[in-house]
Every structure is written in C-alpha cells, then in structure tokens.
Amino acid sequence: DNLVLDSMKINDIDLEDGIYQDKLSCGSTLTFTADLWNIGDSDQEDITIRVYNTKLGIDEEFNIGKIRSFDKEPISFEFTLPKELDEDGWNDLKFEILEDGDVFQNYIDGDDVDAVFDALLNLENCLLPEATISASLDTGGKAGKPMLIRTTITNTGKEATTYLVNAY
C-alpha cells in the first residue's frame, strides 16, 4: 500500500523537487494544491493530512476520508503566513498522511517508510522595523497659531534603519 502526494503547487506554481522557487511575503496567503494518489491495491479509509511548521504557527489536519485503490483525490489548503518572524529565509512545510491518527506507512523496496512530504518555502519581508517614538508639545497648541512638537525616534532594532517622517 502506498499513498503519495504528487503535482504539488503553491499559488499555482509547480514545486521543483519540493522547492517553491519564488519568494513569499510574510502576511500573505499561501494556497497549496496537490493530488493524493493511492497507488496501492487496497482502498484506504480514515485518511487525514496533517500540515505543520512550528515556526510558522501552522498545525492543521484535513480530513480526506476514503481513497480508492489506483485513484487520486485533489487536495487544496489555504494558509495565512505570519505577519512577522524573527528572520527571513527558508521554511519547511511538512505534510503527513495519517490513517486513524497514525502516520501512514508506505511499503517501498521491502521497507515501511513514513508517508511524509515536504515543501520548502523562502519567506521575505518578515522583519518589521523596530522603533519607539515619543512626542511632546513644546510651544503653541492654539487654533490657527504655530506650534512646536518635539519627537524622538529610537531605533530599537539590531540593524541600521531609515525612517521617513512627514509633518502636515
């Protein structure tokens, strides 16, 4: 018995060897699609797919139910990526095929192998500028009269950052 994920795509772009070649922005929506194939000679029941990545805060299960022998079931999941992370870069989404709550065992070359698949993502725009702002009224504040507001912007991050301040 074997259950496999095939034709994996993220946002309608094919994964090449499990790798999403484009970049995804933090806070964006990710749509994952694939075909779940039963390439074994037995129907499988109570099938669920677990998708997880601790760093991204994703841990969800999707009930597939029954999948017949030598048949495929199209699957689609949608996630909103976190708006900010500690760093940009590569993250791995894990897909486990479960049967009755346990990882399904594929029989390959005489061995039982966990039915676990990966999709590697490259995230960008995850680091938000860190700053504290304080403001105080120095002089003025009456309608139609000039006023002076003193502000202090402090970069509390670890890297140099440019801030643009507009006064209206």
| Amino acid 67: pLDDT | 95
pLDDT digits (tens, 9 = 90+) for 12-48: 999 999 999 999 998 899 999 999 999 989 999 999 9
Please state which of the ranges 35-44, 66-75, 158-167 shows the lowest mean pLDDT: 158-167
Q: List the strands of the sheet with 13-14, edge to edge.
A: 13-14, 3-10, 29-38, 71-80
Q: What share of the chain is helix, strand, coil (3-state, %, to 5)?
A: 0, 60, 40
Distances (CA, A) of 109 to 10, 56, 97, 104, 153: 30, 34, 19, 16, 63
Supply the pLDDT for residue 161.
Answer: 75
Smallest CA-to-CA distance from 66 within 83, 86, 46, 48 is with 46
Per-residue pLDDT at 168 exceeds 70: no
- Rounded to whole angstroms, the maximal C-alpha distance in the chain is 86
Instruction: Report pLDDT for 93.
Output: 94
pLDDT confidence of residue 155: 82
pLDDT in tens, 101-123: 999 999 888 899 999 999 999 99
Give me the mean pLDDT over the 117-130 stretch.
85
Quote the pTM value.
Answer: 0.73
Q: Which residues pair with 137 in a beta bridge?
A: 149
